[in-house]
Amino acid sequence: MKIPGCVPRRSGPRPAVWSGCRKPQGPLAAWTRWAKKAEPIPGVLPFSPPAWANYRRTSVQADLEALLFSSEDPLPLDRMKAALGLDSSQVLAALQELRRKLDGDDGAFVLQEVAGGWRLTTRGELDRYLDTSLGKARTDLNETLRDTLAIVAYRQPVTRAQVEAVRGVPCADSLRQLLDLGLIRMAGREATLGRPVIYRTSRKFLLWCGLRSLDDLPPLAGS
């Protein structure tokens, strides 16, 4: 029955009006297109992608991040190549881009190339929280150990007598402690009278210092 002053209700679904836009595929479809810097959506004002879009991981970068996160030791390039089935240039490019994104998003992790491999590690300014809350043991050296270690690092291969000649004091205890900490290693014996032990720094030394190789040691003052 028709009631005066009333408009009959239309039966069936109401047609959608999209103002010239393509019908979105989901509630976040428009945001996804913006974030991926796709072509502008008709009828929408020009829009800059949100800042977080610059740090989105590609599938390769996400795979690398997972590999690095699950490894306790730095991962060499060959192992990452084998795991992902990519060549060296592709893996290196993805690592460099991942490092840029980690550096830019102010997160907890940074990507380092160290000791012949790559690793994820916490930012230096967060160490104080990890040390106190997790009981994490740090390798802090006193001045005597630091001096001895520096001599071994810059003059290696070196014997105890050569270290003592530079320091001017006995160094047997310091060398033994550095051996126990794993920061130096015995690398054979010198072919001289008494066949003294030769000392070199270890791979743990590179990890402790965050160095790719000994070539990255800072130059000595005045050199």
pLDDT band, residue 29 (cuts 50/70/90): low
Tens digits of per-residue pLDDT, 208-220? 888 888 888 888 8
CATH class of 57-134: mainly alpha
Tens digits of per-residue pLDDT, 85-96? 999 999 999 999
Least confident of 125-129, 145-149, 194-198: 125-129
| Model pLDDT, residue 212 | 84
Q: CATH topology of 57-134 equal to that of 143-216?
A: yes
- The ranges assigned to domains in the chain are 57-134, 143-216
Higher-confidence position of 75 and 54: 75
Enumerate residues 6+ apart whose C-beta is below 8 A from 20: 42, 43
Enumerate residues 6+ apart whose C-beta is below 8 A from 132: none
Tens digits of per-residue pLDDT, 99-116? 988 888 777 888 888 888
Q: Which two tokens stand for residue 158?
A: 């070196």
Alpha-carbon gap, residue 84 to 73, rounded angstroms: 18
Tell me the pTM.
Answer: 0.57
CATH architecture of 143-216: Orthogonal Bundle (1.10)
Higher-confidence position of 78 and 26: 78
Alpha-carbon gap, residue 179 to 70, rounded angstroms: 28
